[in-house]
Amino acid sequence: MFLIQRCLWSLSNKARLLKITCASGCHPFSTSSKMCKKFKIARRIEGLDRNVWVEFFKLSSADPAIVNLGQGQPDISPPEHIKEQLAEVAAIDSMNQYTRGFGHPSLVEALSSLYGKLYDRRIDPNHETIVTVGAYGSLFNAIQGLVNEEEEVIIVEPFFDCYDPMIKMAGAIPVYIPLRFQPTEGNEWSSASWILDLEELESKFSSKTKLLIINTPHNPTGKIFSKKELQGIADLCIKHDIICISDEVYEWLVYTGHKHIKIATLPGMWERTITVGSAGKTFSVTGWKLGWSIGPETLIRKMQTVQQHVIYTCATPLQEALARAFWFEIKRMDDPECYFYSLPRELEAKRDRMIWLLQIIGLKPIVPEGGYFIIADASGLNVDLSEMTDDCYDYKFVKWMIKNKKLTAIPVTAFCSANKKYFEKYIRFCFIKKDSTLDAFEKIIKNWAKES
């Protein structure tokens, strides 16, 4: 025994002298080396450490002078009534304790009432809705609850960035289909020019396909899927017996001349669709991190099972305040002052101002039909990016812009995987910003124009 110990000690000492370390930097015979093995990353999150929000939040916070039009974070005031309701609710003792796990009773009632009108059917508040930690929570519950290892999930590129890692964390395989930019006369610079080729989509289906995720109004392009496109997608889902997740967090943010259609309302789609919503996007309160899903009991039940073991329940006071805010708006849905209509009106003017400003310096904006982002082609600016080290042009460009112009946007390839090459000339700007922020943006743009 003593001899074995001596040998191990001498080996360990030699390794130290020779500076031998394991891949993660640990000495191979040390206690920390044993820990290293145990602390090794779980396979399900291998390769998923990079995150665009973490990276650009840090870059944008480095200097208070930076004008941040990156993340979809409103700096406008949320409606007064929702803030007042939260203050009132927080003063009620019982509202500060746990509530029903799948959604606070008054909130699921409000969701049932609102979506009952929109779907023109009765929505069972207890079995056909679930309240989650943001839309993120809904997406996570749905993917975890429905997809098995090795099954395939089709996602449209560019996609909201969390779809891809969530699919991979479930051990499933993302299958990508890119939107194609096909401008027609009169539509050269509209998000309507982003086309989902249905033949190409059908080629992505296989015997392993379980789910298809769509997002309309679409982040980052602002595209609103037309009824024809949704019908084509619905036909394929039905033909191949696939479940659809429809991420509709920007459902109310639709600009003049356009209409948002819920795929779940098309014939044969209710029973196979989970529709995802977000309080953050509906009431401009992204910090509340409340979301929900609407769908048939068979699908919602699986989401509830995941939720009960992962978070159990969402914050009670936030849910009660959200329920009251919904009732407030539901009662005035015939009034143009209803927030569901007044917010897109306010945003449309901001969108148009931003489009005008971007054009001044030769960033070519693609006018969004919905949502609160504009993507712009930055490739015509001939900026010297030689000192930037990222792989993709858009990452280099945004980092250059933060450093040299004190302006943050988001590189569109952050929303891509297999098809980055089609999107790397675009960067995304967020326009749900108060006028003073847009004034600061205007100043940057005008100085930029003078310099160039």
Residues that bind ligand IK2 (CB under 6 A): 71-72, 134-136, 160, 215, 219, 247, 249, 278, 280, 286, 291
* C-beta closer to ligand IK2: residue 162 or 383: 162
CB closer to ligand IK2 out of 68 and 448 = 68
Q: Which is nearer to ligand IK2, 152 or 247 (CB)?
A: 247
Q: Between 160 and 339, name the residue whose CB sits nearer to ligand IK2.
A: 160
Please report the DSSP string for 420-434 in residue order.
Answer: GGGTTTEEEEE----
**In this structure, what token pair is assigned to residue 140?**
């996570």
Residues whose CB falls within 8 Å of the CB of residue 437, separated by 6 or more in sequence, listed in order: 67, 69, 75
Of residues 137 and 145, the one with the C-beta less far from ligand IK2? 137
CA distances from 384 to 265, 325, 379, 427, 446 (A): 49, 49, 11, 16, 20
- When computed from its CA atoms, the radius of gyration of the chain, rounded to whole angstroms, is 24
Cβ closer to ligand IK2: 275 or 448?
275
Least Cβ distance, residue 189 to ligand IK2 (angstroms)? 21
Task: For the CB of residue 248, give the shortest distance to ligand IK2 in the complex, in Å.
Answer: 9
Task: Select the residue whose beta carbon is closest to ligand IK2 and give its number.
Answer: 134
- Least distance in angstroms from the C-beta of 307 to ligand IK2: 14
Could you tell me the smallest distance in angstroms from the CB atom of residue 351 to ligand IK2?
16
Residue 226 exposure: Cα atoms within 13 Å on the Cβ side: 12
Asked if residues 74 and 286 have their Cβ atoms less than 8 Å apart, the reply is yes
327 dihedral zone (left: phi>0; alpha: psi -120 to 50; beta): alpha
The distance of closest approach from Cβ of residue 182 to ligand IK2 in the complex, given in angstroms and rounded to an integer, is 23
Angle at 286 between CA 284 and CA 289, to 5 degrees: 130
Show Cβ contacts of residue 190 under 8 Å, excluding neighbours closer than 6 positions. 183, 366, 367, 369
CA-based nearest residue to 399, from 417, 386, 416: 386
Cβ 124 vs Cβ 112: under 8 Å: yes
**Smallest separation, CB 273 to ligand IK2 (Å):** 16
In the complex, least distance from residue 69 CB atom to ligand IK2, rounded to whole angstroms: 10
Smallest CA-to-CA distance from 178 within 148, 202, 201 is with 201
- CA–CA separation, 445 vs 405, rounded Å? 9
* In the complex, least distance from residue 185 CB atom to ligand IK2, rounded to whole angstroms: 30
Q: Cis peptide before 220, with omega less than 30 degrees from 0?
A: yes
In the complex with ligand IK2, the residue whose CB is nearer, 428 or 448, is 428
3-state SS, residue 127:
coil
The token duo for 47 is 């390769």
> What is the smallest separation between the CB atom of 343 and ligand IK2, expressed in angstroms?
15
CA 83 – CA 428 distance, rounded (Å): 29
